[in-house]
Amino acid sequence: MADRVRVQADAFDMGAELNTFADSVQGAGAVVSFSGITRDLADGGLAVMEIEHYPGMTEKALTAIRSEAITRFGLIDAMILHRFGPLAPSDPIMMVATAAPHRADAFQAAEFLMDYLKSRAPFWKKEVTASGEAWVASKDEDEDALGRWSQQS
């Protein structure tokens, strides 16, 4: 379903999104969601977080990751929503939601989606402060987080 993967500049209401998702899934016993929030810097100096992405590839990558999660964890449904453009501290950046008959699969699938999204979906973050701007470096731990899924299969 096309609207299960959304890449948008607009803000979203995570509560409303989750309610719509939960209302639409038939036969689920568990719905799990994760929301990413724009984190301020330790000194509170973040002015803007700019998110760049690769239009076209982003949607393809997210669609593929969603399908993989549905197959792997026997999900009833899953959704991925990710914003791009300038974001302010505490703005929601993205969310995923999963629906399954039982909670273990829904929880695991949400983590799987996040691990893949972190280092396989073409998004890049830049932090802008009063004193300049810097691209956010990728974390080795995000790469490591992918490893556990291949070992489990």
Partner 1 sequence: MKLDILYFAWLRERVGTAQEQVETDAATVADLVAELRTRDDGYAYAFSDMGAIRAAVDQELVDGDAPLSGAREVAFFPPMTGG
From 14-22, 25-33, 55-63, 100-108, span contacting partner 1 (CB under 8 A): 55-63
Among 26, 137, 150, 151, binds partner 1 (CB under 8 A): 137
Task: Kindly determine how many residues on this chain lie close enough to bind partner 1 according to the rule CB under 8 A.
Answer: 28
**Angle between helices 57-73 and 103-120 in degrees, nearest 10:** 150
From 38-46, 70-78, 100-108, 118-126, span contacting partner 1 (CB under 8 A): 118-126
SS3 state at 114: helix
Assign residue 128 a region (left: φ > 0; alpha: ψ between -120 and 50; beta: otherwise): beta
Residues 6+ apart with CB under 8 A from 17: 79, 81, 95, 97
Among 8, 9, 13, 135, binds partner 1 (CB under 8 A): 135
Neighbours of 149 (CB within 10 A): 16
Contact 35, 15 (CB under 8 A): no
What is the smallest separation between the CB atom of 1 and partner 1, expressed in angstroms? 21
Asked if residue 123 binds partner 1 (CB under 8 A), the reply is yes
From 16-24, 67-75, 104-112, 135-143, span contacting partner 1 (CB under 8 A): 135-143
Q: Residue 120 is encoded by which pair of tokens?
A: 């396989």
Which residues 70-89 are close enough to bind partner 1 by CB under 8 A?
A: 82
Give the residues lining the site for partner 1 (CB under 8 A): 36, 51-54, 56-57, 60-61, 82, 93-94, 114, 117-126, 135-138, 143
